[in-house]
A and B are shown apart, each in its own frame.
Chain A
Amino acid sequence: MSEKFEPVIIGFTCNWCSYRAADMAGMGRIKYAPNIRLIRLMCSGRLDPTFVIKAFAGGADGVLVSGCHPGDCHYIEQNYKAMRRFYLLRKLLSQMGIEPGRLKLLWASAAEGQIFADEVTKFTEEVRALGPLHWDPTAALEAEQSIYQPAEVAA
């Protein structure tokens, strides 16, 4: 392990605040960790918990969920729903043996490019410290399929 571990991080951002925060960070030419790859949703409330599980299963080492500040949601209050799912997901992840620290919730307004950049860098370091997740997607897929094999159920 001479090479430094570069975690892969998937970021789910809402269209109105946090994606614009990422835009703002770019416009300000703020340099931050390149490990994050963003998926734009209309609202953080759109975050289906499945997305997070699939991201980990697919090879992500960390997942960032980002939305508007509480009270600032473009859709009035949907970020609160994202928040509830976030806490539930952390619990679920720990039950699955995944460190809850691999999932982060960040409120970032459209003006907070610097905060977004700083938090992404910080989160990247946190995930780097946790090390690779090593969740083999094919193994997960096989496990999934094995559950549904009627033969095994019968046996």
Chain B
Amino acid sequence: MSKEKIGVYICHCGSNIAGTVDVAEVSRWAGEALKDRGVVVSRDYKFMCSSLGQELIQKDIKEQGLTRVVVAACSPHLHEQTFRNACKEGGLNPYLCELVSIREQCSWIHPDKAVGTEKAKAIVSGGVEKVIWDEPLEPLRVPINPVTLVVGGGIAGIQAALEVANAGYPVIMVEREPSIGGHMAQFDKTFPTLDCSACILTPRMVEVGSHPNVKLFSYAEVTNVSGYVGNFQVTIKQKARSVNTDLCTGCGICQEKCPKKVIDPVFEAGLGYRKAVYTPFPQAVPKYPVIDRENCTYFLKGTCRACEKFCPTGAIDFTQEDEYFTFDVGQIILATGWDLFDARRIPQYGYGRLANVFTSLEFERLTNAAGPTGGKVVLRDGVTVPKSVAIVHCVGSRDQNYNPYCSAICCMQSLKFAHLVHERTGAEVYNFYLEMRTPAKGYEEFYQRVLEEGTHFIRGKVAEITDAARYPGEEGKLIVQAENTLIGKQMRVPVDMVILSAALEPRRDFKEVARLFGISCSEEGWLIERHPKLDPVATMTEGIYIAGCAQGPKDIPASVAQGAAAAARVIGKIQQKQITMEPIRASIDQEKCSGCRICNNMCPFNAITFIEDRMVSEVNPALCQGCGTCVAACPAGAISGTVFSDQAILAQLDGLLLNNLKTLDLTPA
């Protein structure tokens, strides 16, 4: 006989549970069969999570003097907090309440009412046995460091950094490239309003660069992350710029004088050149150039030093080495962005083989007034203006062979391209699309506008792009072969230029990023949010948030919205000043510890230290995350875990197997 007074509450959840579980029978059974186990009250109610249901529990705590509560309802991931709070308000320690799931794990998956009822009884019985062993606990409170790390300096990261910085909190921004700005800096116009990308982006970049609350590391990477929410330690590797930023004024003379021209595969998408000492573009933030050591003549051959000779402030420093900085940060926002699908993976589209097949990013650079052609839309030869252009949608997306998902931005981007080709060349434009997806504000109107401009829209997937002419009029052209599925006919459209609207893909190094920050990614490699609808910017790891295309393909407004949303979450946490953490922790009984140190290597958070002079191990509760691996590993049984103690788990096991109804006595002595 347990000395506890246990209340058992069975929820109907409307008909969600009551439909396949005889809740009245479970409640009656619990009251009778588990009476010896300490159950003094057993009730069923339509909606336990409603305020009336919660009051029911609170009333029983007060009137019947309940010392333990078991609620059998939905998953603990949904309402554990609700019922813990209800108990707390009723005057019972919230950790003396167990929520067992008879909905997700019983009523919803078993159509047979008799089977469901029996299983529900076992689950309730398990909960009752476990709750006997639960201990009253207080949530841990740890202070939160207001410094926030933003990884990625694209528009999502910029927005997040500015929001946090403007709220008055310090931000550390890390960008891999020499300048912040991300992909948006490469564009000329943005859909659907066609406002100039640089005009709206550069002021934000400058604001980040000059904000007193933002410490910007460009040409840098995060190499190590440890700690936990509110108290992370991050190591940032500042790659050697070979330019002393204290002396550099950003005058640009070094770039002018550098004799080495290199194809720029990143910012110019391989379409233009930069120097070996460079800033990716004139408006770069920070303004300091970097020397690309793989291409610099001095680093390759030991001579040249033209930049050093001409630098008016003597800022060039060939001896600079990679530097590592360690910072304490409270929270982290990941806005690491996307990479473009490699169109070479679809050989029949001819990219890389046929000169005048362009990718979307290349075309963005072509139309950019600051790009390699000064904004002139011309063929690969650099002079010929195309008379006809084909734009192919869904290249590498919505395709089972490559990426099954929709890249979200390609339809609108292709419409923008169609408009820009029209505007700048007057060429005939053919858009090959699968479905037209224009689901945001002003997008459909933009589609109508492009339709009215006379763009040809052909619904069908392009089978092949070839330069092999078969009919008169095709000589010297690129022939786009596709089926027009609206009229059910094969078409061959000869054009001068083809633009492939390639898919957005996760960053190539998404796996390392996910591992470094301890978060998970989907099969494709997008970082996974805590909840797809209700918590789109948090991750399963407390204190780490995601924003922008790192989470999935999205356009600029959505990226900005997510950046701001992540910042709001961060600011909200900072303003609480401390973080409440679940008191699920391990502790070591020093009397029992034999000092074998097996647990020391078990802990991935380095929470266990060995105390040499006493020859015992000790757990640092602030670092312990409560996984319990050390508890399971301790050969002396010296480590115990709260909430999930050995006794509680074994008791729950016996309850689930209904052995508690037999003579085995499991009550705490």
Question: Chain A residues in contact with chain B, CB under 8 A?
Answer: 8, 10, 16, 19-20, 22-23, 25-27, 29-32, 34, 37-43, 45-51, 54-55, 58-60, 68, 71-72, 74-78, 81, 85, 109-111, 117, 137, 141
Contacts and interface: CB of A to CB of B under 8 A. Distances in A.
Contacts of A34: 106, 109-110, 112, 115-116, 119
Given A29-B108, A45-B602, 4 more contacts: A19-B77, A23-B105, A48-B646, A54-B653
B518 interface: yes
Contacts of A51: 649-650, 653
Contact of B122 (A37, A47, A109): A37
Contact of A31 (B111, B122, B654): B111
A74 B632 CA distance: 17
Contacts of A19: 75, 77
Q: Which 9 pairs from chain A and chain B are nearest by CB?
A: A26-B104, A46-B628, A45-B629, A43-B627, A75-B627, A76-B604, A48-B632, A26-B108, A37-B656
A19 B260 CA distance: 58
Nearest to B77: A23
A55 B584 CA distance: 24
Contacts of B643: 42
B653 A58 contact: yes
A113 to B, nearest CB: 9
B646 A50 contact: yes
Nearest to A69: B520
Contact of B109 (A25, A49, A110): A25
A60 B605 CA distance: 34
Contacts of A81: 602, 629, 632-633
Given A23-B77, A45-B629, A48-B632, A58 B649 contact: no
Which residue, A25, A68, A74, has most C-beta atoms of chain B within 10 A?
A74
A58 B659 contact: yes
B627 A78 contact: yes
B657 A10 contact: yes
B199 interface: no
A114 to B, nearest CB: 12
Which residue, A16, A25, A42, A60, has most C-beta atoms of chain B within 10 A?
A42
A54 B651 CA distance: 10
A78 B77 CA distance: 21
Interface band, chain B: 35 or more
B76 A26 contact: no
A32 B656 contact: no
A26 B103 contact: yes
Contacts of A117: 109
A84 B638 CA distance: 21
B625 interface: yes
Nearest to A81: B629
B123 interface: yes
B355 interface: no
Interface string B642-669: 0110100110111011010000100000
Interface string B87-114: 0000000000000010111101111100
30 contacts: A10-B656, A16-B540, A19-B75, A23-B105, A25-B104, A26-B101, A30-B109, A31-B109, A31-B111, A34-B106, A34-B119, A37-B656, A39-B656, A42-B628, A45-B627, A46-B629, A46-B631, A47-B632, A50-B646, A54-B653, A55-B657, A58-B657, A58-B659, A74-B518, A74-B540, A75-B629, A76-B518, A76-B604, A85-B632, A109-B520
B153 interface: no
Contacts of B664: 137, 141
Nearest to B656: A37
Contact of A77 (B520, B604, B654): B604
A14 B53 CA distance: 29
Contacts of A110: 540
A46 B110 contact: no
Nearest to B628: A46
Interface string B605-648: 10000000000000000000111110111000000010110100
A27 B16 CA distance: 11
A19 B74 CA distance: 13
A77 B601 CA distance: 12
B657 A45 contact: no
B515 interface: yes
A49 B635 CA distance: 11
B126 interface: yes
B605 to A, nearest CB: 8
A26 B105 contact: yes
A17 to B, nearest CB: 8
A82 to B, nearest CB: 8
Nearest to B76: A40
A72 B541 CA distance: 12
Nearest to A76: B604
A54 B112 CA distance: 29
Contacts of B584: 42
B632 A39 contact: no
Interface in B565-623: 584, 602, 604-605
Nearest to B652: A39
A43 B77 CA distance: 15
A48 B659 CA distance: 20
Contacts of A39: 126, 649, 652-653, 656
A48 B627 CA distance: 12
Contact of B657 (A31, A60, A74): A60
B659 A23 contact: no
Contacts of B103: 26
Interface string B458-482: 0000000000000000000000000
A26 B627 contact: no
A19 B520 CA distance: 16
B87 to A, nearest CB: 19
Contact of B119 (A10, A16, A37): A37
Contacts of A77: 604
Contact of B105 (A38, A45, A76, A78): A38
Given A23-B75, A40-B76, A76-B604, A59 B657 contact: yes
Nearest to A109: B520
A26 B104 CA distance: 4
A23 B76 CA distance: 10
B56 to A, nearest CB: 25
Given A26-B103, A37-B656, A75-B625, A46 B641 contact: yes
A3 to B, nearest CB: 14
Contact of B628 (A23, A41, A54): A41
A77 to B, nearest CB: 5
A42 B650 contact: no
Given A39-B656, A55-B653, A32 B109 contact: yes
B629 A78 contact: yes
Contacts of B650: 50-51, 54
A134 to B, nearest CB: 14
Contact of A22 (B105, B116, B122, B540): B105
Which residue, B116, B511, B649, has most C-beta atoms of chain A within 10 A?
B649
A113 B12 CA distance: 23
A123 to B, nearest CB: 15
B657 A78 contact: no
